[in-house]
Each structure stands twice: as structure tokens, then as C-alpha cells.
Chain A
């Protein structure tokens, strides 16, 4: 074609040649009829939807490298479709009220606006380099990790509560921009949801709309929000470790007199009822460091220390009694020599488990009784 271009038009027929690799199965074998490892494309579309299959192909296709096709990727594509669908269902389920916007929502909008524009710049750059799979990954993460997991959680009104109009409008606009960014990859669901989002004129279709352009964005707000995310992640880790349910509000202490951004976000996402500055952390408080700042969560206040000591002491008693009986069995020669080896092994395991639990409880007890 290039040769003919020069001979008959005196110029090349194209500026760029995009070379795709060979489609292989997940074991790296070339797909062929005789191996029977080549899925029937229309059956895949039937099963996962065209958008799901398109996404499955692209998730496995860096330019020019052979692609390792795995049907699970189409499933991932379909799941993503469902994720987008459900996100819009959630938003459309909210009632709108004339009420002031919360500080957390205002911050969420500021932050996501910057995040979205940062992503648009990145996507444009990736398309310029024909790194199409990576561009898709960028939109995918933007939607799933940032928009769904953070933004929507932040602005989500309480159960059966309305949302303020300002936040709702911003959210709808974000959603529309996300749909546009997704449209080239998954044309069908985006068109459907574009129309579900708003009443449209006959010729107002996403496929002939214009992509959102990258606007200048506030890098500082992005940095600050990442910092905030780390704090929230640490709070969640402590809740897990200490077995404190999410619905139980906690207090967050900041050591030294440091200011931190977005306290309202931390309060909402970490279920923190109070943030205070202290010089030294309380005994029994869990602590963590983000950047150079140390934080503490006094968990002792939640549970009466004496109550806690009593609970631990009781458990220690029980375990020590249990360990005693296991030790008796194991010191009985008849048992050790006549019982089945796996039964003996089981008793030995009980012994070591009990011993380590006792050690942990004793350590906890010693910090509580300091």
C-alpha cells in the first residue's frame, strides 16, 4: 500500500502504521481453529455485551505485542459496565433539596474537578503515543477508584436524606464528562446512560458530542487530597486491627500543632467526630504517621480500661486452664504412643496456639496496667 501510494499519488497512503500483535490464549498459544482455543467472537458479544468484549480485548492489547486473551477480561469488562450502570442508578435515586452544600462535598467537587482534568491530560498524551490500552486503564481507574470509591462516597447523602442541588449538578456534569471519555471504548452503554442522565434532543447524542477539553487544574488540591486519603486509609486499618466497627465514631489526635487539609473529608470518610491537637498521645492509643505528621486514635476511651482488663484477665484464665489440660494429655505416655499420630499432632498444635495467644494477651495487659 505504501508502495502504491508513492507510485500513484506521490505520497504515502498513511502517516502512521499501527501494528497489532497476534491474539494468543492465556497460555500464550496462537489462537487457531485446530487448537479449538479461539472463542467465537459473536458468542462472546452475546455473553458479555459488545462493550464488555471491546474492553476485554483492549485490556490485553498493548500495541505490537502479542495479546494474551483471557475470557476473564471480558468478564471484567462486563463488571465495569455494571459498575457504571449502578453508579448512575445510585445518583438518580437521590432526591434533591434546597439546602446548603456541606464542606466535604465542596471539597470533593474541587478535588475531582482537578483529578478529572489531570486524567484528561494523561489520556490525551497516551492517545498521541497510541498507547490505547493504557489510556483505557486511566479512564477505568478514574471511574472506579476515584469517582466511585472516593467522590461518590464523599458526597453521598445519609440514608434516605436528600442531596443539595449544587452538589447534584456538579456530579451530573462529572458523570457526563466521564461518559464521554469512555465512549470511544464502550460506545453503547455510554450512549444509553448519556440519555438516562438527562432529557436530550433527538440529535444530542454522545457519539457526535465533543470530548471534554483539559482545563488548567489545581495540583495542590490533588496533593492535599492524596495526603487525606492516606490518613483515612490508616484510620480504616486501625478499625480493622482493633475490630472497631465503621459506625462507631472515633476521635483523631494530631501530635504537634500541625494544620492538615480537608478535616471535613477525614471526618466523613473516617467517621471521626472530633479532631484535636495534643502534645503527647494517650496510653493505649493507636498511632500512625503520614508524611511527617504523627496521628493518634485513642481507642481506650471507647472501652472502659478496667472493663478491658477484666475481659482480658478472664480470657487468660480460661486459656491457661485449657493449656493445662492439653499439657496433661501430652505428658501421658500412653496417649502419645497409642493415639493416632495426627491426633497427637493436633494436640501439639492446640498447645502452641494457646501459648502464643497467652503471650499476646499478657503483652496487652501490661500496656493497659502501666
Chain B
């Protein structure tokens, strides 16, 4: 073969990639050789390649090609994830451009649009990986929402539910008032914001005098159910055992004492709004305070907002400050910088909100995962990340796995007409389970499936197992041969 005087990569690259594909050199089947398995961390199905992917996949390809040339049976499984919130947001935007409002569509209609979008834009990123030279076994390409992967997710949900590790509960979640869904802590970005610290006067009941509290969110006084002081705080000692009145709405609330209060912040006198602040929620639980949720899901105020009902939260902030000032309840305001959480997807301010969600208990599950890294069963490269990992695993909170979206794996819980629910793989199975529970006549059509879907991570975390169908068929030839993966 003669060599051209100049090297032309584009011609050579496409020629050889096709040759390798045609000769199925990337394809792997179990055999007697030592396996070398790599499972691609699935990128978003509708995403495009960025420099981080380039680096990541170059490294994976180097390791896979080297293993292949060491005589190992190298298998690199490609795939994509459905990226629940990101994809749904893109589809909602696209529909909006066409003048279609998501709320006017049925769930099935919306999902048809989402699938159409996925088929149209999906897999671009995998085509881009081919350009990079990635030697993936394309015959094994998976998608987190394909049939086998979906079946795996459902089985895992039922399994964990039956083990008592999945529960339904009311918890404070990061609420995105634009996407109308709960978000995980990882989907919230904190930014510094310039605002004000407002000093407000709460009249003491049946006495002359005030409790002065400082807050950055004056609109939330509508949800106050207590005021809290530090038991050793002398400057607020006169409030002990008293009751105070929430300005404008005249709600009488108790003064409670707890060492949690930082006497150096503001006046040392803290308003407690259990429905809209995580820390207040914890104090509220401790002292059995009532919970008054003043917001609708879209960030406007509900009837608890009284004269402010129907207005947006930020409008109310302005208006209520004016009203407080007019009525003489505003002592002063100071410029103040605080950290505010924003939604990674919609970039609106997150609202801490109490809502009914599905949770996975993590403490027990995290233990073997922590031990494995600490005793080097799993090696981190470079090892300096061990401490970060320990910190994560030791501080793991219960994981909120439900999302108020349609694009994703729908939660397999079925509600009964007279209360209660069952968790099952299918509606038919749910009906059989339900029949054993109820003492009233029940039609299968009366079962109502949960509207929410699972966090995308609930399918990603199974990925190294589910790509070999190891959940559905735990002893199949692929999973026993290829699992665990090499890196």
C-alpha cells in the first residue's frame, strides 16, 4: 500500500471505523477468556457530546482497546438514560412553541410527544462517540426506558418496598414551582443573592411591647406557628412563657425555647414556619407545632395567605413589607446577602415545601457500599477521593425518589377507592393483591396508579446490572460472565 504524502484523518477514520463494525470486532459474547467489562455511564438520550464526555470516553476506549489487545474478552456496553426532568422540560418547551400546553394533554398524549422527541433526537450522542473511535459493542446498546430496563426498575421498586425500605411520607422537599416537581439536593444550585433582612415587631399578647424578629422572607410570617428564643438569652428573657401575635393576620402563637437558636443572628428571636423551612420543620416536629402551608404548587399564595391569596410569592414580599411598614410593624431593614437555592433546570428559586413523596431508606443500604471502599474492595483512582466518599456515605439522607413528571418510570403503586394502596408489577397483579385486602366489592378499573415517576437515578443506579439483564434473570449467562465490571 502506498502512503499519500499527507495524512488525511477524516478519510482514514471513517474507513476503518466501518471496517471494524463490518467485521464485528467490537462485539463480545461470553467465552472461556477473561472478561473485561466496561459499562458506559449513560449520557442523556437527547444530549450532545461535550468535552467532559470526550475525556471520559477517550479514557474508557483506551482501557478497553488495551484489554482487548491483552487477549481479554473486552465488552463495552453503550447506552443512554431518559433524563426525566431534562427531557420533559425540553418537550414542554417544544410543545409551548407549537402553542400546546402540557396541562391540556393527557398523560398518554404527552408521552407520545416525548417518545417522538426521543426517537428524533435520541442517540445523536452515540453517533458522536463513533466519531471519537469508541469501540463499544453497539449490538448491546441499552436505554433506561427500554423494555428490559423498565421491567428491572419495577422489580427493584417492588423488592425494596416489600423489604420495607421504600415508604411514602410527608417530607420537606426542594420544590421547583416552575417545573412543578420535587428535586433532589443535587439538582439545586446555591447562589449568593443580595436581599434585605427585615426586623418585624410581633406584639406580645395582653401586654405592651414586642418581640422583634429578623427574617429575609417576610411573606412567610403568614405561615408562622411559633417564635423561638434561646433559653439562656437574657435580652429576650421577658418573652418567656408569653404568646405573641403575628402582625397583619393576628394569629396568636406561643414563644418556645430551644438551644438551636443562634442568639447572635438578628435579634436572637426566631420565627418558626414549619411548612417553609427545613430547620423550622425539624423544630416544629419536636414541639408538635401546627404546619400551615401558604403556597400553591406554582409559587402563588393559597387561602392561608388571606388577603394575599392568589398573588405570586415575590409580589407578596414587596406588598407585605409596605403593609407592615404602614401599620408600624417594620422596625428596620438591613442589606443582607444570603445563599438562595435555584433549580438547575428552570433556574427559578426553589421553595422548601412539604409534600407527599416516595422515599428510599438509605442508611442500611449504604453500609456495605461504604465498607467496600474503605477496605479497598473497590479502589478509587486516585485514592484521595476516599474521604469525600466516606463523607457522602456517612451523611446519606433518605432519598426522595418520586418526581411530579410524566416522562420516566411510573411508580407502580395503585390506590384503592376507599384509601390505602398496593405496590405491584402490573395493574392485574395489583388487583389480585388488593382483593385480598378489602372487604368491599372492587373493580380493577377502580384502582388508580400513582401519577408520579421515579427519579432518573433510580434506573441509573441499576445500570451495571440491568444492561446484562441481571435483575430480571439473575443467573443468565451474560451477567454471570461480565459482572462485576472492570472499572
Contact = CB atoms under 8 A, between A and B. Distances in A.
A233 interface: no
Nearest to B385: A19
B484 interface: yes
B55 A67 contact: yes
Interface residues of A, number: 72
A81 B16 contact: no
A4 B149 CA distance: 14
A38 interface: yes
Contacts of A16: 378-381, 486-487
A232 to B, nearest CB: 30
Contacts of B19: 191, 205
Contacts of A38: 50-51
Given A57-B54, A189-B12, A42 B23 contact: no
Contacts of B69: 180, 183-184, 207-211
Contact residue range for chain B?
35 or more
Given A1-B461, A19-B381, A8 B471 contact: yes
B238 interface: no
Interface string A1-40: 1111111110111111111101100000001000000110
Contact of A42 (B49, B59, B381): B49
A131 to B, nearest CB: 9
A196 B69 CA distance: 20
Residue of A45, A50, A211 ringed by the most chain B CB atoms within 10 A: A50
Given A19-B380, A19-B382, A51-B9, A14 B55 contact: no
Residue of B7, B10, B479 ringed by the most chain A CB atoms within 10 A: B7
A208 B483 contact: no
Given A14-B484, A46-B10, A127-B66, A191 B16 contact: yes
A349 B441 CA distance: 111
A12 B62 contact: no
B485 A13 contact: yes
B429 to A, nearest CB: 20
Interface stretch (A58-66, A113-121, A294-302, A304-312): A58-66
A270 interface: no
Contacts, number: 222
A9 to B, nearest CB: 6
A329 interface: no
Interface string A198-211: 01001101011111
A51 B464 CA distance: 28
A54 B373 contact: no
Contacts of A2: 369, 372-373, 378
Contacts of A130: 381
B56 interface: yes
B132 A5 contact: no
A368 B152 CA distance: 91
A61 B365 contact: no
A8 to B, nearest CB: 6
A194 to B, nearest CB: 10
A85 B56 CA distance: 27
A17 B380 CA distance: 5
Interface in B16-60: 16-17, 19-20, 23, 25, 49-56, 58-59
A94 to B, nearest CB: 13
A23 B54 CA distance: 10
Nearest to A24: B51
A17 B25 contact: no
Nearest to B14: A188
Given A9-B465, A183-B69, A195-B1, A54 B132 contact: yes
Residue of A5, A19, A208 ringed by the most chain B CB atoms within 10 A: A5
A69 interface: yes
A88 B7 CA distance: 11
Nearest to A32: B50
Given A5-B465, A6-B368, A187-B65, A61 B59 contact: yes
Residue of A11, A12, A88, A92 ringed by the most chain B CB atoms within 10 A: A12
B135 interface: yes
23 contacts: A2-B369, A3-B366, A3-B369, A3-B461, A6-B365, A9-B465, A16-B378, A18-B381, A23-B52, A31-B50, A31-B52, A38-B50, A54-B61, A58-B58, A183-B69, A184-B63, A184-B69, A185-B62, A187-B61, A187-B133, A205-B23, A207-B69, A211-B70
Interface of A: 1-9, 11-20, 22-23, 31, 38-39, 41-42, 45-46, 48-54, 57-58, 61, 63-64, 67, 69, 78, 81-82, 85, 88-89, 92, 127, 130, 132, 180, 183-185, 187-189, 191-192, 195-196, 199, 202-203, 205, 207-211
Interface of B: 1-3, 5-7, 9-10, 12-13, 16-17, 19-20, 23, 25, 49-56, 58-59, 61-63, 65-66, 68-71, 128, 131-133, 135, 156, 159-160, 362, 365-366, 368-369, 372-373, 377-382, 384-385, 460-465, 470-471, 474, 479, 483-487
